Structure 1
Amino acid sequence: MAQQVRGVVARAKGAPVQVETVVVPDPGPGEAVVRVQACGVCHTDLHYREGGINDEFPFLLGHEAAGVVESVGAGVTDLEPGDFVILNWRAVCGTCRACLRGRPWYCFATFNASQPMTLTDGTPLSPALGIGAFAEKTLVHSGQCTKVDPAASPAAAGLLGCGIMAGIGAAVNTGGVTRGDSVAVIGCGGVGSAAVAGSALAGATTIIAVDLDDRKLEGATKLGATHTVNAGTGDVVAAVQELTGGFGADVVIDAVGRPETWKQAFYARDLAGTVVLVGVPTPEMRLEMPLLDFFSRGGSLKSSWYGDCLPSRDFPYLIDLYLQGRLDLDAFVTETIRLDEVEEAFTKMHHGDVLRSVVVF
């Protein structure tokens, strides 16, 4: 029987979000209903509200979530009610050309639930990243549920569902950061700070955090940055080169996603170094550079999709590190809030006042 729950809905571009009644159907084949325990407020949710993703309003926002499986549909064999899960937005299919080549983190045919959640008048809702977890319960494909150790705090664990995984994965999976590397991270919000933490986990010896906000630089230092650069006080490229013996960093991660920060990343890397773009550009952004510079510097220019993660592999591993005290996920939780405080949390995020506000049910 369908259930009615409270959820945060964006009805129109730029309009304040509202808490409304959401109808969650019983799970169909391959689906699961999850009772959400915590969900982080991510910049992607704000992109949805602002029409920056698409115009399929109304949206049911929220996607960085952890919770408990309440019920499953026909054919679901790897989940059962009571399982503690982190929700992910790349449930791999196993049969596309990427999966068949052994690269499921690039899966080109990921799954979402088939049935829509709706408003009480029957209007279908578009769930953010196929999840829609600013709600007391949500309907997802069973492959979007990754079981992890239930000893983890839901507020911390849920953040692996998007931003923290994107940042750690940008360093470890996409950038291939390893022992002894030098790394620069441009932009130290939630994703960039996670890239700093991931670089520290991987054994990088020089980790340079770059941002305009000294508060964020201080936070990055607590997560493993060995040096900081305030981008508003000088030449970022020159500063990174100076801190790396005049050469530039082995890996530079752009967690902002603007033409100017990408250029900084490109020129701040060592010869044959790697640039990783994990910040999301907007459609109108353009980049113009001499083609010869690409050829003469060599190396790799990469984009990181969701930290090139495989949730079934990476989420349990990172939760184990968290429970061992080796990955401080709690440091990313700036505040816990109620469901009706999401709009206020967007403002705090826009002003750089938080790493993450987390809705706790």
Structure 2
Amino acid sequence: MVHEVRGVVARSKGEPVSVETVLVPDPGPGEALVKVQACGVCHTDLHYREGGINDEFPFLLGHEAAGVVEAVGEGVTGLAAGDFVILNWRAVCGNCRACLRGRPWYCFATHNAVQKMTLADGTPLSPALGIGAFADKTLVAAGQCTTVDPAAAPAVAGLLGCGVMAGIGAAVNTGGVTRGDSVAVIGCGGVGDAAIAGARLAGAAKIIAVDVDDRKLEWARGFGATHTVNSRESDPVEAIRKLTGGFGADVVIEAVGRPETYKQAFYARDLAGTVVLVGVPTPEMTLELPLLDVFGRGGALKSSWYGDCLPSRDFPMLVDLHLQGRLDLGAFVSETIGLGDVEAAFAKMHRGEVLRSVVVL
């Protein structure tokens, strides 16, 4: 059986997206059909539309989603119709060298659905991050479905599927923030604010938010920042050092993805401190640092891909913290919209007017 649904499609580079008829097949072996209930508008979707990921147009956009499993294919275990799930783009294989060494969050052979979703004329679609959830239904690998407590609202639960998980994981998993640490976060969009929330969860004593926008700095305070620095008005490296006794922060999280802000993060950390890059750079960007400074300062320079998360471990835990009132996922939702409003949401995101617009189906 083929399911005819609505979906948000990017047909060509830089062109406005459109809502079109999408054909979704029944799940085959190892696959799951999911009725999407909500999907966040993430900057990665805009990267797809702009051709910044690859040129495999047309794309079925959307990936930060939650919904209900409608059917599963042959051989699927541990997942059944009716399960409330968050979709993830890191379905671990269990057999690669990372998985076999007990580090599945580094899995080198993650997988997606084998069958293709198509346009009405049969043109195959490339689903964003192997998900394609700006649609009434989507087809994914069963391992991309993580079952969580259905008491969580889909509009907030789905945010763990990408941006919020990336930020929290950058602080907790990659940065190893722990009780009493000083933490600086450069860039206070959705991912940066999630890193701030993660640092607060981990018990950081001082959390310094850095951005060029006072509105974003005010949002950062709501997520747990104890101090804010507007880097248009003062040198962020000097400000962070001044706030940390002249030493620099134990962990500095760079959530912008630019060489300039990465250098700020590098020099704003304490000796033997940790820098975490979670902001996504573009292919042409390069970084130059004095090698002696890299050697002499010690510590760790890390990149955080998807917050080094393991969805089966981290999603249920974070949903539970949300339901306990210890993690306000709802604070990330700036507005709820329909499928036809995605293009406008991209514009608001680009202007920095929202943390997350969330499509509710």
Give TM-score, length-normalised by structure 1: 1.00
Q: Distance in 1 between matches of 2:78 and 2:116?
A: 23
Q: Distance in 2 between matches of 1:310 and 1:217?
A: 30
What amino acid does structure 2 have at the position aligned with 1:205? A
Runs of 4+ aligned structure 1 residues displaced above 4 Å come to none
Matched, 1:289 2:289: yes
Per-residue CA deviation, residues 157-215 of structure 1 (Å, 9 max, x unaligned), is 00000000000000000000000000000000000000000000000000000011111
Map residues 19-98 of structure 1 onto 2, 5 A cutoff.
19-98=19-98
What amino acid does structure 1 have at the position aligned with 2:249? A
Match in the other structure for 1:205: 205
Map residues 121-136 of structure 1 onto 2, 5 A cutoff.
121-136=121-136
Matched, 1:229 2:234: no
Q: Distance in 2 between matches of 1:256 and 1:98?
A: 28
What amino acid does structure 2 have at the position aligned with 1:173? N
Q: Distance in 2 between matches of 1:21 and 1:216?
A: 37
Match in the other structure for 2:318: 318
Q: Distance in 2 between matches of 1:289 and 1:30?
A: 46
Map residues 107-122 of structure 1 onto 2, 5 A cutoff.
107-122=107-122
State the Cα distance separating 1:7 from its structure 2 match.
0.2
What amino acid does structure 2 have at the position aligned with 1:189? G
Match in the other structure for 2:173: 173
Match in the other structure for 2:17: 17
Per-residue CA deviation, residues 226-256 of structure 1 (Å, 9 max, x unaligned), is 0000111010100000000100000000000
Give TM-score, length-normalised by structure 2: 1.00
Q: Distance in 1 between matches of 2:264 and 2:116?
A: 43
Q: Distance in 1 between matches of 2:322 and 2:212?
A: 29
State the Cα distance separating 1:310 from its structure 2 match.
0.1
Match in the other structure for 1:327: 327
Match in the other structure for 1:143: 143
Per-residue CA deviation, residues 307-336 of structure 1 (Å, 9 max, x unaligned), is 000000000000000000000000000000
Q: Distance in 2 between matches of 1:220 and 1:104?
A: 31
Identical-residue share of aligned pairs (%) = 82
Match in the other structure for 1:343: 343
Q: Secondary structure at the match of 2:33?
A: strand
What amino acid does structure 2 have at the position aligned with 1:202? A
Match in the other structure for 2:245: 245
What amino acid does structure 2 have at the position aligned with 1:177? V
What amino acid does structure 1 have at the position aligned with 2:285? M
Q: Distance in 2 between matches of 1:85 and 1:240?
A: 40
Per-residue CA deviation, residues 73-114 of structure 1 (Å, 9 max, x unaligned), is 000111111000000000000000000000000000001000
Map residues 148-167 of structure 1 onto 2, 5 A cutoff.
148-167=148-167
Q: Secondary structure at the match of 2:6?
A: strand
Q: Distance in 1 between matches of 2:190 and 2:139?
A: 26
Q: Distance in 1 between matches of 2:190 and 2:126?
A: 25
Q: Distance in 2 between matches of 1:288 and 1:295?
A: 14
Q: Name the Cα RMSD after superposition.
A: 0.4
What amino acid does structure 1 have at the position aligned with 2:253? I
What amino acid does structure 1 have at the position aligned with 2:229? V
Q: Distance in 1 between matches of 2:105 and 2:4?
A: 34
Per-residue CA deviation, residues 47-90 of structure 1 (Å, 9 max, x unaligned), is 00000000000000000000000001000111111000000000
Match in the other structure for 1:270: 270
